Amino acid sequence: MTAETQLSPTPRSTVIRGKKRAVQDRQVLYDILDAGLVCHLAVEVDGAPFLIPTAYGRDGNRIFLHGSTGSRSIRSMVEGKQVCVAVTLVDGVVYSRSVFHHSMNYRSAIIHGTATIAEDPEHALRTIVEHVTPGSWDYARSPSKKELAQTVALEIDLTEASVKVRDGGPGEEPSDLEANLVWAGHMPLVQTWGTPVPHETDKAIPPHVSARGR
C-alpha cells in the first residue's frame, strides 16, 4: 500500500471509536462505494443537520449525486457547502456470550468534503445511472434537453474519508469464553436480486437486467 492509495489521516477522518476496525486501503473505500446503492448525505440547513438519502455513482476518486432543480433542491441545500456522506453495508449480526459484546458485521465508508456542481453533468448522470442500473444508459431513451435542464449533478471528492470493516464471530471476555455457557456466533445478512417484474410490456427481459441476479 503506497501513500497515494492510503486514506487521508485528517483529524475528523481518523477513526477513534472502534480503532481496530479501521481500514487504510483506498481500494476498500472504492469497493464499498461500488457495492452500495444509496448514500446518506448530511448537510447543515438553517442551523441544523439535514439528511438526504440518495443514489450516487463513483468515477475514480469522486462520487456524483443528482437532484431536481426545483425549490428546496439538493443544489440549493448542498452546493458549495461542507457535507458528510456515508455508505453503510450491513453484513450480519454477531451473537456473543455476553450482551455487552453483541455486535454487527458491516462495511462503512464516511466521506468529508464539499459538494460542487459537476463540470460534465451528462457524464455524472451516466455514472449514477450505470451504478444503480448497469446497462440502462445505452438501452433506454437518452435524456432530452428539457430533462437534462431539470436535473442538477453534484460531485464530491473522496480524498478525505474513513473506512471501517467488521466481520466474523464475536469478541469475548476470556472468562465468558472459558465458561462457554451459551451458543455464540454470527448470522450473515445477504442481499439478493429478485425476479424482474415487467411493466406493461411484451418485450423480452434484456440481458443487462436478466443477468443481474446471477
Q: For residues 40 and 33, what is the distance between their CA atoms, to the nearest angstrom?
A: 12
Minimum Å distance from CB 64 to a second copy? 14
Phi–psi pair at 33, nearest 5 degrees: -65, -35
Measured from the CB atom, the residue of 26 and 75 that comes closer to a second copy is 75
Measured from the CB atom, the residue of 6 and 68 that comes closer to a second copy is 68
Minimum Å distance from CB 2 to a second copy? 28
CA distances from 29 to 36, 100, 150, 165, 205 (A): 11, 29, 31, 10, 33
Measured from the CB atom, the residue of 1 and 51 that comes closer to a second copy is 51
Minimum Å distance from CB 56 to a second copy? 11
Minimum Å distance from CB 3 to a second copy? 25
Measured from the CB atom, the residue of 2 and 97 that comes closer to a second copy is 97
The cell numbers describing 182, all together, are: 451459551
Indicate the helix (H) or strand (E) that contains 175: helix 174-179
